[in-house]
Structure 1
Amino acid sequence: MADLTDMEIFARVVTAGSMSGAGREMGLSPAVISKRIRRLEERLGARLLQRTTRQIALTEDGQGYYERVIGILASIEEAESFVTRRNTAPRGTLKIAAPTSFGRMHIAPYLGKFATLYPDLKLSLMLNDRFVDIVGDGFDLAVRIAALENSSLIARRLAPNHRVICASPAYLEREGTPKTLGELSRHNCIFATHQDVWQLEGPEGATSMRVAGNLQTNSSEVVREGVIAGLGIALRSTWDVGPALQSGKLRIVLPQYRESRRVAVYAVYPSRRFLPARVRVFIDFLADLFGPEPYWDKGLDLAFDAPDGPAGNPVAA
């Protein structure tokens, strides 16, 4: 008869990517993990994992077994969650990684409200503009603003990410408002390092536009402050400049154009099959906070940018 503990250990090894990683998650030594995997393989009469000194990989039998095991474990978890979720408060430490500016503007201000809802949770928010290794660096989840590529991670879309060409009223009054993309070449454009090619989509389809300007910076916050100060024209996400657009400090220029990449705001985490309550409630909190029309987009004319999919559904990242 199947041993559910061995099945869970096997699934943990796969999601963690190593026996040592699974051991840390489950409080077991790598030797115990290895022994239990070996026992499972002997009972099944098949090799499930190919092992090297640095990594593990699923065999064909292992892949098929894993796909079925996670369904079994998910059903058990759902059955237990059905009984306990109303009576069990999330506890422990929630480790979150997020982009620097987005974290400062749209996560940090709401941590107090979240902490009030879940007083038994401790929060660790690390802001960094690189993509962290969620499993290797020990994070529960990461907030990412990206066009997701295939990986072993799971993602839940939290909000759309609209990017608009914008400038301050003072700059436009001084230099004039461009009516075509070609006219941008005569304007001072502000951008972060290595972002001088704007990938745009408009009436004539997808196009690339190389821009130039008199400011070099590795900080998106400097770009935002520069465009608000009237230094030039920028291509910015509305989560970054939404308040300035709403207040009139900035205006959308060439509204018929959008960035051609389908980027959105996501919560990314290792596996939906072993999602701790502390992770689930934080993701739900952000999804409710942002929603399909986040507060930073309220009142903006973004009809040109159709949604790129429903928010809230977990997908393979």
Structure 2
Amino acid sequence: MDPDTALFVEVVAAGSLSGAARGRGVSPAMVSKRIARLETRLGVRLLNRTTRRLELTARGALYHTDMVAVVAAIRAAEARIMEDGAGPTGPLRVSAPTSFGRLHLAPRLKPFLDAHPNVALDLDLSDGFSDLLGDGVDLAIRIAPSAEPGVATPGFVAHRLSDSRRVLCAAPAYLEAAGTPGTVAALEGHRLLAARGQLPWRLAGPRGDLTIDGESHVRTNSSEVVRELTVAGVGIALRSLWDVSGDLASGRLVRVLPAFEGSADVGIYAVHARVAPTAVHALLGYLRGLWLPTPPWGG
């Protein structure tokens, strides 16, 4: 791939000229000069640059989509050469949400690693959005609606591995003290718990979809903290069954308004480049075996 084109892809992944410059160890001015050189060669403007924002032009977005596919194909070709007929081998970088990775990936990876000893797995757990291309991620686990950009990403393929049912729940001690809401409207008088960006709640009920808005009783950026607060009896939360099924089974949490659940369009997806190394397909097949047709958390 042309070096200036590769740099263009890095700029888009970083979201700024300065971000790409830091990754390369060069000056932003040098990055800007090389992007301008690429635009001159192609005869089109790829990026609109201001002091605060960097945006792809319409033609720049098309070019970027094609180049993402090229980069993915190059990576896959390199991985195939490295395999040399020995089966999946080489580095395999996987990203997943923190709680999900800790509960449902890490404890179940040993059989996969035993079966594929030549795969060097790098597992990155984070609740932040990971850019597959810019971060060098081979396979990303996404928990999101099917139409969300992190799932519906140009140049990549998304496999739905499971539904992600979410239920309203609280600790018995909280409900004993505050009362159990009998209607959705009654939630307004209760302490709601959610991480930043997780409210409003979109619920599906017997009469269709509805939205519950409000503010979290405790402000936090951590979904794991929300779970611990809920178990401790601080308030009511909308939690995924993969996260709280054990607590519901033990009685540490109980369902609230069981006729209502989180919107059913949210699922658990594995996302990878259209052309991917054999190790990606091997891991994908292993995860399908774990979670399809019915996941262990009863999704």
Do they superpose with TM above 0.5? yes
Q: 2:131 aligns with which of 116, 130, 133?
A: 133
What secondary structure, in the 3-state scheme, does the structure 2 residue paired with 1:107 have?
helix
What secondary structure, in the 3-state scheme, does the structure 2 residue paired with 1:108 have?
helix
**Residue 167 of structure 2 corresponds to residue 169 of structure 1:** no
Aligned partners of 2:90, 2:45: CA distance in 1, in Å?
32
Aligned partners of 2:253, 2:174: CA distance in 1, in Å?
10
Identity %: 41
CA contact (8 A) 2:96 2:141 kept: yes
Query: Which residue is equivalent to 1:3?
Result: none
**Residue 152 of structure 2 corresponds to residue 154 of structure 1:** no
Can you give the 5+ residue segments of structure 1 that lack an aligned partner in the other structure? Answer: 1-12, 23-49, 71-76, 303-317
For 1:44-83, what per-residue CA distance to the aligned partner results, in whole angstroms no more than 9, with x for missing partners?
A: xxxxxx675866846xxx9xxx9xxx9xxxxxx9xxx9xx
Partner amino acid, structure 1, of 2:248 = L
Query: Which residue is equivalent to 1:287?
Result: 288
Count of aligned residue pairs for this structure pair: 236
CA 1:185 to 1:285, structure 2 compared with 1: closer, same or farther past 3 Å?
Answer: same
1:1-317 matches, within 5 Å, as 18=5, 57=62, 88-149=86-147, 150-152=152-154, 153-260=156-263, 262-271=265-274, 274-297=275-298
CA 1:280 to 1:203, structure 2 compared with 1: closer, same or farther past 3 Å?
Answer: same
Partner amino acid, structure 1, of 2:297 = W
Query: Which residue is equivalent to 1:313?
Result: none
| Aligned alpha-carbon RMSD (Å) | 3.2
CA 1:202 to 1:142, structure 2 compared with 1: closer, same or farther past 3 Å?
Answer: same
Q: TM-score, normalised by structure 2?
A: 0.70
What secondary structure, in the 3-state scheme, does the structure 1 residue paired with 2:109 have?
helix
Aligned partners of 1:51, 1:257: CA distance in 2, in Å?
55
What secondary structure, in the 3-state scheme, does the structure 1 residue paired with 2:219 have?
coil
Partner amino acid, structure 2, of 1:151 = T
For 1:98-125, what per-residue CA distance to the aligned partner results, in whole angstroms no more than 9, with x for missing partners?
A: 1111111111112222211111111001
CA contact (8 A) 1:51 1:57 kept: no
CA contact (8 A) 2:164 2:264 kept: no
CA 1:278 to 1:181, structure 2 compared with 1: closer, same or farther past 3 Å?
Answer: same
CA contact (8 A) 1:185 1:212 kept: no
CA 1:292 to 1:220, structure 2 compared with 1: closer, same or farther past 3 Å?
Answer: same
Aligned partners of 2:62, 2:211: CA distance in 1, in Å?
40
Query: Which residue is equivalent to 2:56?
Result: none
Aligned partners of 1:56, 1:156: CA distance in 2, in Å?
24
Partner amino acid, structure 2, of 1:246 = A
What secondary structure, in the 3-state scheme, does the structure 2 residue paired with 1:196 have?
coil
Partner amino acid, structure 2, of 1:292 = P
Q: TM-score, normalised by structure 1?
A: 0.66
Can you give the 5+ residue segments of structure 2 that lack an aligned partner in the other structure? Answer: 10-41, 47-59
1:243 Cα deviation (Å)? 1.3
Aligned partners of 2:104, 2:110: CA distance in 1, in Å?
12
Aligned partners of 1:291, 1:147: CA distance in 2, in Å?
18
For 1:193-238, what per-residue CA distance to the aligned partner results, in whole angstroms no more than 9, with x for missing partners?
A: 2333211121222211123453111110011001111111100111
1:261 Cα deviation (Å)? 5.5
What stretches of structure 1 move > 6 A for 4+ residues in a row?
A: none
What secondary structure, in the 3-state scheme, does the structure 1 residue paired with 2:220 have?
coil
Q: Over alpha carbons, which structure has the higher Rg?
A: 1
CA 1:53 to 1:111, structure 2 compared with 1: closer, same or farther past 3 Å?
Answer: farther
For 1:170-190, what per-residue CA distance to the aligned partner results, in whole angstroms no more than 9, with x for missing partners?
A: 222222221110111121111
Partner amino acid, structure 1, of 2:285 = D
CA 1:275 to 1:216, structure 2 compared with 1: closer, same or farther past 3 Å?
Answer: same
